[in-house]
Amino acid sequence: MVADEVSVLIVDDSALMRNLLSKMVEATPGLAVAERAMNGKFALQKIPRVNPDVIVLDLEMPEMNGVEFLKERKKLGITIPVIILSSIARRGAEITMEALALGASDFIQKPSGSVSEDIHMVKDTLTSMLLGYGGNYRRRQGKKTLSPAELAHSQKSENAPAHSPPAGPLAKPPIAFPAQAPKTPPAPLRKPGKIEIIAIGISTGGPDALRGVFAKLDADLKAPIVVVQHMPAGFTNEFAKSLDRLCPLEVKEAEEGDLIRPGRILIAQGNKHLEIERKSLAAVARLSDAPAVSGHRPSADVLFASVAKAYTNRALGVIMTGMGRDGAEQLGAIYQEGGITLGQDEASAVVYGMPRVAHELGHVMEQVPLDKMAARICAIVKSDR
């Protein structure tokens, strides 16, 4: 193991899954396997010895399952980030959200149940999470991490852009390079007006980020919020409920015809596009099964485009942590209509992909650290324009 690599503790009761995950980690530049454990009890015993930077945790295990491990981790004051491997079966979504509430950072759905021999299908997403969360943890501990240039050299692809599409299911994850100077976009059609809606696009790293932002929102925030968080179908309802418990505003999964009203946050359903239609008396949510856009359904590009059309210069668009480029293009539609646009900054993003591309396109007016995002959103909405 290279000293600067992110070390991963793999916790799963299936020997096959431990083997498949280990191969996946070892094949990824910047990652290394610290140790493996068959349940939470053995994981707790191994943590002091191997001191991992990030933990991959199955939820369904004998003797000490994932939820029990997270409870004990919390008691012991262990702050190592945890990525949950989740199955939709057997109350999977509800248990996953309980795990997030107990301090897990993020989750990824196993493609085909508890023992997924096709786990390689989510390789890019999982390894990006491990590099992001594990790298952030190492930096907080004062440890060095491999630079983007070092990672690129180990991949022999120094010139590969962070948002280039993978070559196949076993392709190596994208590398986050420092942002280039932004392009100069066309001048906005009009000056910003009083903000009447907030639209957020977010992906990898989003569950943890949204929990932090929503918990800090002002209870008297008047503008409604609509969110695309890339998440599998079946999880977004429980995710919205989990956010509702910590947010001073109402949070719910978007349903067809839901009113867009002050004090309400709507989370796009998994596998459904969310668009906003403004009528003479009210604005409402529209759901659709239209094809994926920018590789996703729901797509932040679809949401941003509809918000720009419905609200022109009275919209605030926010693009946050995530792989790829979804939302980056149509955040520009909000910008061009005279709305205001924010992007999460590189230092605080688990994966600086979506906000980086938006910044390079010139569509981000201001880059904001995660811990200041809630305050900045509230300040913009409450300002007179």
Q: Which residues contact 138 (CB under 8 A, 6 or more apart)?
A: 6, 53, 144, 145
Euclidean distance between CA atoms 35 and 177, whole angstroms:
29
Same domain? 108 vs 229: no
Known active-site residue 218: no
Same domain? 295 vs 213: yes
Indicate whether 111 pLDDT > 80: no
Segment 240-268, tens digit of pLDDT: 999 999 999 999 999 999 999 999 999 99
Which of 7, 86, 87, 203 does the annotation list as catalytic?
203
- 200 token code pair: 């957020």
Which of 86, 114, 230, 348 does the annotation list as catalytic?
230
Total-model pTM: 0.86
Q: Which domain holds residue 378?
A: 197-382
Same domain? 341 vs 218: yes
* Structural domain includes residue 299: yes
Longest Cα–Cα distance of the chain, Å, equals 64
Segment 309-352, tens digit of pLDDT: 999 999 999 999 999 999 999 999 999 999 999 999 999 999 99
Q: Please report, for the domain that includes residue 273, its CATH number.
A: 3.40.50.180
Domain end point (choices 146, 168, 185):
146
Quote the number of domains for the chain. Answer: 2
* Structural domain includes residue 76: yes
Same domain? 113 vs 39: yes
Which of 326, 348, 359, 363 does the annotation list as catalytic?
326
Euclidean distance between CA atoms 314 and 149, whole angstroms:
41
Same domain? 121 vs 223: no
Known active-site residue 163: no
Same domain? 91 vs 239: no
Same domain? 211 vs 333: yes
Known active-site residue 203: yes
How far separated are the first and last CA of the chain, in Å rounded? 55
Query: For residues 182 and 362, is the Cβ–Cβ distance under 8 A?
Result: yes
Task: Write out the H or E segment, with its range, that includes residue 243.
Answer: helix 236-244
Domain end point (choices 117, 146, 175):
146
Segment 45-98, tens digit of pLDDT: 999 999 999 999 999 999 999 999 999 999 999 999 999 998 765 577 889 999
- 367 token code pair: 């880059």
* Structural domain includes residue 54: yes
Same domain? 49 vs 142: yes
